[in-house]
Structure 1
Amino acid sequence: MINVIWLGMIVIGFVFAAVNGRMDAFTAAVFDGAKNGVTVSFGLISVLVFWLGVMKIAEDAGLLRTIARLLGPIVSFLFPDVPKGHPAIGYILSNMSANLLGLGNAATPMGIKAMQELQTLNPDKDTATPAMCTLLALNTASITLIPATLIAIRLNYGSSDPADIVGTTLAATFVATLAAIFADRLCRRMHLLRRPPGPPAESSSPARGGSASPHYQVKG
């Protein structure tokens, strides 16, 4: 779907430029955008390498394990259908830790691995489980303590105070995370209410003196 959206935007821009005789401006904008993309990417490398190095030091020092222990009860609450000790839990904790530091590029691989592990618990491989939806919501609206990537972009474009957005980013992501958790709990409750009842439990044969399950009425 994203590819279709981008293709549609490019085609619409091309058509409007051709109709209005602005193909020169369209071509210049395309190449300027490509140039800016490369420039910004190179500008991000140093900041991302720095914070990834900080994360590695924090991991070796045991800080990430401490964060994981602190987040453990929260993860158990948010993902009640994931068994304790499952590999997905570790990847979810790594994803949340990276998002807290504003390292979206580092959080993405951990999120993908967590989704792959959650898929092993999925009885219907073509439909996302509630745990998958929860992870997607949290990854999108995660609380960010240090928006490292945004700070790098602002620094690259000559901002006088690149770190000025720390407070507002923390407030915005905090509210977004609360909204995501509320929406996730609401959708889970609605999912449970819409879930059809399971098949009746097998009753024991009358000849053997067994009785039917107390939750279902066995007919015939």
Structure 2
Amino acid sequence: MVNLIWAFMAIVGIIYAMFNGTMEEVNKALFESADEAVKLSIGLISILVFWLGIMKIAEEAGILRVLAKLLRPIVVKIFPEIPKDHPAMGYILSNFTANIFGLGNAATPLGIKAMEEMKKLSGTDTASRSMITFLAINTAGLTLIPSTVIAIRMQYNSSSPTEIVGTTIIASAAALISALLLDRFFYYRSLRRKE
């Protein structure tokens, strides 16, 4: 559906440019944007490779295991339907750890695997309570080190690319707390309706 919306917007824009006589500006903007996107992508690759390397070092040093152990009691309380030793729990912890370090690209495959494991647990195609909670937490995206945003700010020569770390932590923590509160509110509300 989103592809259709984007296609519709592009077609309307091109038709408007043809009737408005600004097709040359549209073509110029199109090619400049494509060039800028390639430059930005190449710049981001170096930062992502750096942080993925740091993540690998942290994994080899056992830091991720320690962080997973610290998060496990909290995650077990948030996802009471998932057995403590189930593979879904490992994927959830790995996903949260990657998101905390701002590695959304690395967290995505882990999140997909976690959802697959939770689907196996529920045995249906309907989203389970755990799946909804996981989605809400992932959407909130608690981040301590917003590496992708820092990389973009560095790419555009920001004088202080890391100054957004504090506000990112506050904003993502507020989003996480709100997501959890709303998730629990609607869950308990649905339980009361069933009674």
TM-score by length of 1: 0.84
- Report the identity percentage: 53
Q: Which residues of structure 2 form unaligned runs of 5+?
A: none
Higher relative contact order (CA 8 A, sep 6+): 2
Deviation per CA, 1:24-82, whole angstroms, max 9, x where unpaired? 12222222222111111100111111111111111111110111011111111211111
Residue 59 of structure 1 corresponds to 59
Cα offset for 1:143? Answer: 1.6
Aligned to 2:102: 102
The corresponding residue for 2:13 is: 13
| Aligned counterparts of 1:7 and 1:128: Cα–Cα separation in 2 | 30
Structure 1 runs (4+) greater than 4 angstroms displaced: none
* Structure 1 residue 2 displacement after superposition: 2.4
Provide the residue aligned with 2:36 in structure 1: 36
Paired position in structure 1 for 2:183: 184
Alignment: residue pair count: 195
C-alpha distance in 2 between matches for 1:145 and 1:48: 15
Distance across 1 between alignment mates of 2:133 and 2:44? 29
- Equivalent in the alignment of 1:47: 47
Moved more, 132-141 or 91-100: 132-141
Distance (whole Å) between structure 2 residues aligned to residue 104 and residue 167 of structure 1:
18
Q: CA offset at residue 132 of structure 1?
A: 1.2
Paired with 1:22 and 1:7, the residues of 2 have a C-alpha distance of 19
Q: CA–CA distance in 1 between the matches of 2:122 and 2:127?
A: 8
Q: TM-score, normalised by structure 2?
A: 0.94
Distance 1:60 1:98 in 2: 15
Name the CA shift for 1:122/1:13 in 2 (closer, same or farther; >3 Å). farther
SS in 1 for 2:162: helix
Structure 1: tracts of 5 or more residues without a match: 198-220
For residues 190 and 49 of structure 1, the distance between their equivalents in structure 2, rounded to whole angstroms, comes to 44
Output aligned runs, 1:174-213, within 5 Å. Answer: 174-195=173-194
Quote the Cα distance in structure 1 between the aligned partners of 2:12 and 2:92: 39
**Residue in 2 aligned with 1:209?**
none
CA root-mean-square deviation: 1.4
